[in-house]
């Protein structure tokens, strides 16, 4: 384990009314804080306006483009992260539009960073969304780790207070994911420091 902690951003991807995302994100954030290798920043996309209409040029071609002023805090927090965990459901076999908007409004903030996933849904447990997100983040020069945490039929797994009924399996999966993120996040952080990443457009 490195002598200093990594900055880990945990992003709640759904903004839908009645969403279950905060329950899952709070559980994972607690696991990450107990892990000892991370300083955790929980980001809720519901707190930031995310316009679906993007500028004429994408961030990849215009890295200094002006974003809505309300997005400044989100941009700063993503940029400060050494590793990122996306907490996502799958809606209609994909991930939420709010998450795609947050991704598309940024570019260099994702580059050469370790990305992990925690999924939940009534069927696949978010795996359908995770598989698509791997492709999206690969296009943005991020590294998605292989391991993940998933909650199929999540409404049967947590009690009314948001506590897992049988935590052993998910806790182990979370530890594996966090261990992988710590390794990859540390390597990529050091590499970005010693050799700035330059993505070809």
- The per-residue pLDDT for range 166-180, each reduced to its tens digit, is 999 999 999 999 999
pLDDT at 61 (0 to 100): 77
Domain boundaries, the chain: 6-194
The mean pLDDT value for 57-66 works out to 76
For domain 6-194, give the fold: Rossmann fold (3.40.50)
pLDDT at 199 (0 to 100): 66
How far apart are the C-alpha atoms of 50 and 103, rounded to whole Å? 10
> With 90 as the cut, is the pLDDT of residue 94 above it?
yes
pLDDT-based confidence at residue 164 (cuts at 50, 70, 90): very high
How far apart are the C-alpha atoms of 101 and 90, rounded to whole Å? 15
Which tens digits make up the pLDDT trace of 28-55? 999 999 999 999 999 999 999 999 888 8
pLDDT at 1 (0 to 100): 43
Query: How would you label 87-120 residue by residue, b for 16+ Cβ within 10 Å and e otherwise?
Result: bbbbeeebbbebbbbbbbbbbbbbbbbbbbbbbb
Task: Count other Cβ atoms within 10 Å, centred on residue 71.
Answer: 17
> With 80 as the cut, is the pLDDT of residue 120 above it?
yes
Of 3 and 117, more confident: 117
> With 90 as the cut, is the pLDDT of residue 11 above it?
yes
Of 10 and 197, more confident: 10
pLDDT-based confidence at residue 3 (cuts at 50, 70, 90): low
């Amino acid at each position: 384990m490195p002598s200093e902690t990594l900055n880990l951003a945990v992003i709640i991807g759904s903004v839908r009314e009645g969403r279950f995302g905060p329950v899952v994100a709070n559980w994972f954030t607690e696991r990450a804080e107990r892990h000892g290798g991370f300083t955790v920043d929980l980001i809720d996309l519901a707190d930031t306006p995310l316009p679906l209409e993007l500028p004429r040029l994408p961030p990849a071609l215009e890295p200094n483009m002006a974003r809505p002023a309300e997005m400044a805090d989100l941009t700063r927090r993503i940029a400060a992260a050494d590793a990122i965990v996306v907490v996502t459901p799958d809606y209609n076999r994909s991930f939420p539009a709010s998450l795609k908007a947050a991704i598309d409004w940024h570019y260099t903030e994702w580059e050469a960073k370790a990305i992990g996933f925690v999924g939940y849904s009534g069927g696949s447990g978010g795996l359908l969304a995770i598989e698509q997100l791997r492709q999206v983040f690969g296009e943005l020069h991020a590294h998605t780790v292989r391991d993940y945490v998933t909650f199929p039929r999540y409404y049967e797994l947590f009690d009314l207070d948001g506590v897992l009924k049988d935590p052993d399996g998910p806790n182990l999966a979370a530890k594996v994911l966090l261990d992988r993120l710590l390794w990859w996040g540390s390597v990529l952080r050091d590499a970005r420091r010693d050799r700035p990443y330059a993505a070809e457009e």
